[in-house]
């Protein structure tokens, strides 16, 4: 294996390790974001890439190929991380609906709000701080609102508002939570419909981004050597970097548009 190729592999592995570091400590099964954690990983990737590029001798290949490997691995890792965040947020939304149903059932059976929330916390540790606040006579509403910062847990603000109104009036929490659960289920059905409509646009964007690979295979099959030109010639490296950057920007743009639609849909 040539030195540039070896440097590319090392850079890609280093980028994967740096970007795969957890975003923060885990507490009760959830990831707690740490301010600046993303910047720290990015700085680690840049530092490792620069060191590897210097080790490669500073040539065009030695400088561009490791950085290109870092960029490709970073894009893949970030895409997988975004998919995992979306999946975790969907799970939290489902758990919020289950929480409303569980609280309503406990309250309908004659359980106190604090006892119902404590039972729910045994099933879902994320709401344990709110349960402890309820047991000690603390501010349950503030605890629930702070938990609403968890991705997918935005509806906990509605639960907090229902809890606050019921605490002031002395009744109505079970019925309110039932209506909240019904509304959340309707919102989730709408979210799935919108996601299904956007799936074709996302698939088309990814297909278009992968088409250059098919062109490279066709060129190689026709007797040309496009890979050698792209990796071994300054003009080819420029085309490769520009093409990959344009393809990645297109995917990011489509994803940004899709997420904006999901957010306001």
pLDDT of res. 145: 93
pLDDT of res. 169: 74
Q: How confident is the model at residue 33 (pLDDT cuts 50, 70, 90)?
A: very low
Helix (H) or strand (E) holding 26: strand 26-27
pLDDT of res. 265: 58
Q: How confident is the model at residue 157 (pLDDT cuts 50, 70, 90)?
A: very high
Q: What is the mean pLDDT of the chain?
A: 77
| CA–CA distance, 167 with 140 (Å, rounded to integer) | 10
CB 66 within 8 A of CB 8: yes
pLDDT of res. 32: 42
User: With 60 as the cut, is the pLDDT of residue 196 above it?
Assistant: yes
| CA–CA distance, 237 with 231 (Å, rounded to integer) | 6
The model's pLDDT over 40-76, given as tens digits with 9 standing for 90+, comes to 555 555 555 555 555 555 555 556 666 677 777 777 8
Residue 225 falls in which region: left (phi positive, over 0), alpha (psi -120 to 50) or beta: beta
CB 10 within 8 A of CB 2: no
Nearest to 197, CA basis, from 125, 262, 123:
262
User: With 50 as the cut, is the pLDDT of residue 250 above it?
Assistant: yes
pLDDT of res. 88: 92
Nearest to 191, CA basis, from 129, 263, 104:
263
The model's pLDDT over 146-155, given as tens digits with 9 standing for 90+, comes to 999 999 899 9
User: With 60 as the cut, is the pLDDT of residue 135 above it?
Assistant: yes
Q: How confident is the model at residue 22 (pLDDT cuts 50, 70, 90)?
A: very low
The model's pLDDT over 37-48, given as tens digits with 9 standing for 90+, comes to 455 555 555 555
Nearest to 150, CA basis, from 31, 25, 29, 22:
31
């Amino acid at each position: 294996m040539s030195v540039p190729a070896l440097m590319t592999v090392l850079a890609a592995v280093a980028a994967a390790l740096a970007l795969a570091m957890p975003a923060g400590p885990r507490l009760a099964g959830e990831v707690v974001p740490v301010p600046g954690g993303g910047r720290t990983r990015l700085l680690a990737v840049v530092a490792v890439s620069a060191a590897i590029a210097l080790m490669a001798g500073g040539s065009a290949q030695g400088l561009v190929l490791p950085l290109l490997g870092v960029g490709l691995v970073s894009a893949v890792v970030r895409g997988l991380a975004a998919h995992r965040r979306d999946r975790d947020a969907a799970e939290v939304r489902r758990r919020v609906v289950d929480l409303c149903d569980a609280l309503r059932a406990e309250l309908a059976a004659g359980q106190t709000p604090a006892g119902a929330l404590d039972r729910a916390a045994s099933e879902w540790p994320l709401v344990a701080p709110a349960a402890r606040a309820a047991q000690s006579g603390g501010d349950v509403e503030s605890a629930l609102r702070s938990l609403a910062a968890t991705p997918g847990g935005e509806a906990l603000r509605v639960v907090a508002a229902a809890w606050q109104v019921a605490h002031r009036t002395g009744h109505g929490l079970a019925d309110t939570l039932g209506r909240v659960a019904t509304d959340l289920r309707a919102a989730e059905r709408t979210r799935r419909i919108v996601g299904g409509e956007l799936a074709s646009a996302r698939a088309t964007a990814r297909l278009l981004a992968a088409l250059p690979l098919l062109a490279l295979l066709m060129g190689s099959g026709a007797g040309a050597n496009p890979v050698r030109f792209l990796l071994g010639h300054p003009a080819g490296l420029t085309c490769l970097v520009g093409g990959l950057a344009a393809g990645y920007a297109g995917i990011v743009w489509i994803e940004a548009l899709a997420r904006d639609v999901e957010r306001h849909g």
